Amino acid sequence: MNNSKAFGGVLSKIRKDQGFSSAHQFFKSIGGSKSLGLSFMSYWDMERGKKLPKSWRLKAIMAALGVAQSSPRAQELVRAYFRALSGSDELLQTLSAPGAAGAGLPGRDLAEEATNKALAQLTVNLTLEQWRLRTRDIVTHICQNFLADTAGWITVGEISEVTKFKPEEIRKALKALAAGGLVDLSGDKARGKLTGKKIRVLPMTPATGAIRAALLRNWNAWLADSKRISMKRLTFRMSKAKLEVFRQQLEKAINLAAVYDNPSENRQDSAIYLADASIFQILPRD
């Protein structure tokens, strides 16, 4: 296998690991050429090892795949890319020499690997149409989240009791969700098709901007009247490089919730929570 094909193989593997069963599904799910700035055939040629992307496109591709730039998957892709450019591993071997940054942390690595494996088994992707459906209105948005985190068939009356939405509003929302392939509907009962799964975060691309804004409005409206369970705030000054390291650590801590999540918990002894780990730049004002 030549080096370009090796790069394409790594890219294809990462795409599949991220829950996109085909290159076309991935391309369509992220908004197509509007997001990546290239045609499907150009992307497909990369996976088939017929061409290499420009170096600046790698960042956009990894962002669309939902891969953090400092993650092992990103490092594997970048290594394959530079291996294809240089034709050998000679220069890259310096980066993996004994004593490299991050070495000697087996405990942390094992914990992160366990979390990553749990998330990989649980994570699914939505199409752009399904994301837009979730922004239809707040009733649809909340009903979908409730059904995704609750096992079994649930009646309209039960959903109304929990959410305080009117039954007629819930029926309209469930009908739309069923048409969009997100729930099963049987008479006055519904169940989520993604129960126990974690929906991959919508990529931050130009094609998804309006959807992300609508989702944020829905969450802000819902959380404004929700019960706060815990809060911890701390102001700090640090460099942008250190902030990125901290942001990744915070993200991993949030991801641990997937290990404890259980949609089959007794509904009398459990509740559905949202962990929102936000970081704000408060000063200086831009």
Residue 100 burial class via C-beta count within 10 angstroms: exposed 0-12, middle 13-18, buried 19 and up: exposed
Q: Torsions phi, psi of 279, nearest 5? A: -125, 125
Which residue in 215, 36, 223, 217 sits closest to 131, CA to CA? 215
pLDDT value, residue 151: 94
Tell me if 195 sits within 8 A of 149, measured CB to CB: yes
CA distance 19 to 125: 6
Asked if pLDDT for residue 121 goes beyond 80, the answer is no
Question: Average pLDDT of 59-80?
Answer: 84
Q: Which of 72-76, 101-105, 179-183, 193-197 has the lowest mean pLDDT?
A: 101-105
Query: Model pTM?
Result: 0.68
How open is the CA angle 124-266-131, to the nearest 5 degrees? Answer: 25
Q: In angstroms, how far is the first alpha carbon of the chain from the final one?
A: 49
Beta strand segments in the chain, E: 123-124, 154-155, 183-186, 189-192, 198-199
Asked if pLDDT for residue 88 goes beyond 70, the answer is no
Question: Average pLDDT of 205-231?
Answer: 91
CA dist list (Å): 190 to 39, 138, 164, 193: 39, 18, 17, 10
pLDDT value, residue 199: 87
**Which stretch of DSSP H or E encloses residue 250?**
helix 240-255
Asked if pLDDT for residue 232 goes beyond 50, the answer is yes
- Helix and strand element counts for the chain (H, E): 14, 5
Give the pair of three-digit tokens for residue 248.
Answer: 């990744």
Query: What domains lie within the chain, and their CATH numbers?
Result: 3-95 (1.10.260.40), 106-286 (no CATH)
CA distance 265 to 8: 42
Give the pair of three-digit tokens for residue 126.
Answer: 């939505």
CA distance 142 to 134: 8
Which residue in 212, 140, 145 sits closest to 179, CA to CA? 140
CA distance 80 to 126: 28
DSSP letter string over 84-124? HHHSSSTTGGGGGSTT-TTTT-HHHHHHHHHHHHHHHHHEE
Specify whether the backbone of 196 is left (phi greater than 0), alpha (psi in -120 to 50) or beta. left
pLDDT value, residue 117: 60
CA distance 33 to 115: 33
CA distance 23 to 12: 8
Which is it for strands 154-155 and 189-192: parallel, antiparallel or unpaired?
antiparallel
Question: Cα 102 to chain center, whole Å?
Answer: 25
Tell me if 36 sits within 8 A of 64, measured CB to CB: yes
Asked if pLDDT for residue 103 goes beyond 50, the answer is no
